[in-house]
Amino acid sequence: MKTQNRIIIFLTSVFFAYILIFSGVIYYSISSYAYTDFYKRLEIRAITMAKIQLENNQDIDVVKEIRQDFLEKLPDEKITLIDLDEIADSEVLLNKANIPQEFIQQIIEEERVFYKQNNTFYSGIKYENYIVVVSAQNYYAEHHMVHLRNLLFFSLLISVLIIVFIAYFFSRTVMQPISKIIKGVKKIGTESLNYRLEESQSNEEMKSLATTFNDMLNRLETSFETQKNFISNASHELNTPLTSIIGEAEVTLSKDRSSEEYKQSLITILEEAEKLNKKTKALLFLAQTGYNKGKINQDSIIRMDELVIDVKTTVEKIYPEANIYLDFNLLPENPYHLKVKGNEQLLHLAVSNIVMNACKYSNNAKVDIILAASDVNVILIIKDLGVGIPEKELGYIYDPFFRASNTEDYSGYGIGLPLSRNVIKLHRGELIVSSKENEGTTVEILLPHK
């Protein structure tokens, strides 16, 4: 069932039940009041007739005249006066007035009693040595109650119709923004990921929903663009050595060659094959760190100061002309804050990649490695004065095989930084890169200490 229909049924049911109960209470209250009021009127008549007739010994005709002048005539009104001394002789009178003997006995015991038989109401009082019983039909009250019942029923019917209309209008108003979002979502596809939902300015919940969905679309669009860039760059990077290998083999086989030419051709093919092998291994390792996190052992306790010293030694072996300076001035007093839990080989690889990039792209100028710690993280900062990264290209630095436009003169595959970031994320850390073209790059690594 549609949510709109559920809202209509729910609101209609709730208001219908409320109005039904409210109408029932009104009907019962007025009905009880009408009966009580009519009994009271009969009692007043009984007392009045007793006082007039018994205290003043008025003639019955005078009494009737007074009643006609001052008291309203009730339908089928009867007044019965019984002398308690002659009650034994009043049986015929009681039967004629249709008054039960038990009712008379109750009047004698309680002095004021009410009784109802069908639509005839009785009010009896004991006055001195007499019993006065006044009976009449409550014609007006009965007809008024019928009229009230019909009026309430008609009002209930009209109310239900009004409620259904209001519930429909309300549900439509509530569901309209959602329907609008659904229509907008249907327009989104792989070729239209740049489409964004319109954010409502009058409904905070719908605005929050649209904003959340738009944020998700931003992430999806970024992922799709990253995937497209990866496929484009990967196909280019992998195709180049393959083309060189195939081309070299075809040229060599096109005619007979000397042994030296064959040897040189094989050397060329081997070099290109090694490049292809390195790129493939790097790509597979990148995928492993990104998707198979559970398979990598991260149980070792690592001292980051020792790791940084080891990284410096390793990089200097690869780049003997590198100028790497360690800054340990901000080391914490408690060595516990320098310990992290993880995989030493992976962390060594991640930090080494970043330091080697700093040395390579700064042409072996000074590279500072600053180690510090907070109450939560071990902080490692690697700063160089190299070529930097153009500002408009900073958003693509984590795309595999992406290389900045100003790095054409430097060798590389564009896998080191994405790999390093995956390793840092694998250790629940964060990698932050800031750079300015021709001014250098600063990489900040935050790792939670043990």
**pLDDT (tens digit, 9 = 90+) per residue, 268-299?**
888 888 877 766 766 666 555 554 444 555 66
Name which CATH class applies to 296-448.
alpha beta
How many other C-beta atoms are found inside a 10 Å radius of the C-beta of residue 386? 24
Q: Which residues of the chain have pLDDT under 70?
A: 1, 52-73, 85-97, 139-142, 190-194, 221-223, 225-237, 278-279, 281-299
* CATH 1.10.287.130 given to domain 204-291: yes
**Each residue's pLDDT tens digit, 74-117:** 777 777 777 776 665 566 566 656 777 777 777 777 778 887 77
Burial environment of residue 303 by CB neighbours within 10 A (0 to 12, 13 to 18, 19 or more): middle
Position 416 scores a pLDDT of 79
How far CA 237 is from CA of 49, 279, 350, 380, in Å, comes to 120, 8, 22, 31
* Location of each CATH 3.30.450 domain in the chain: 3-143
* Location of each CATH 3.30.565.10 domain in the chain: 296-448
**Each residue's pLDDT tens digit, 398-428:** 877 778 888 888 877 777 788 788 888 888 8
Position 294 scores a pLDDT of 47
Position 231 scores a pLDDT of 65
CATH number among 3.40.50, 2.20.28, 3.30.450, 1.20.120, domain 3-143: 3.30.450
**Within its chain, how far is the Cα of 31 from the centroid?**
50
How far CA 269 is from CA of 130, 141, 274, 319, 333, in Å, comes to 137, 114, 9, 26, 55
pTM above 0.75, yes or no: no
Long-range contacts of 12-21 (CB under 8 A, 24+ apart): 12/160, 12/163, 12/164, 12/167, 15/159, 15/160, 15/163, 15/167, 16/156, 16/159, 16/160, 16/163, 19/156, 19/159, 19/160, 20/156
Q: What Rg, from alpha-carbon coordinates, does the chain have? A: 51
* Location of each CATH 1.10.287.130 domain in the chain: 204-291
Alpha-carbon span 146 to 411, nearest angstrom? 100
* Dihedral (CA of 243, 249, 254, 255) sign: positive
Q: Based on DSSP, count helices (H) and strands (E) in the chain, helices before strands.
A: 10, 11
**Within its chain, how far is the Cα of 423 from the centroid?**
34
Position 250 scores a pLDDT of 86
Position 381 scores a pLDDT of 95
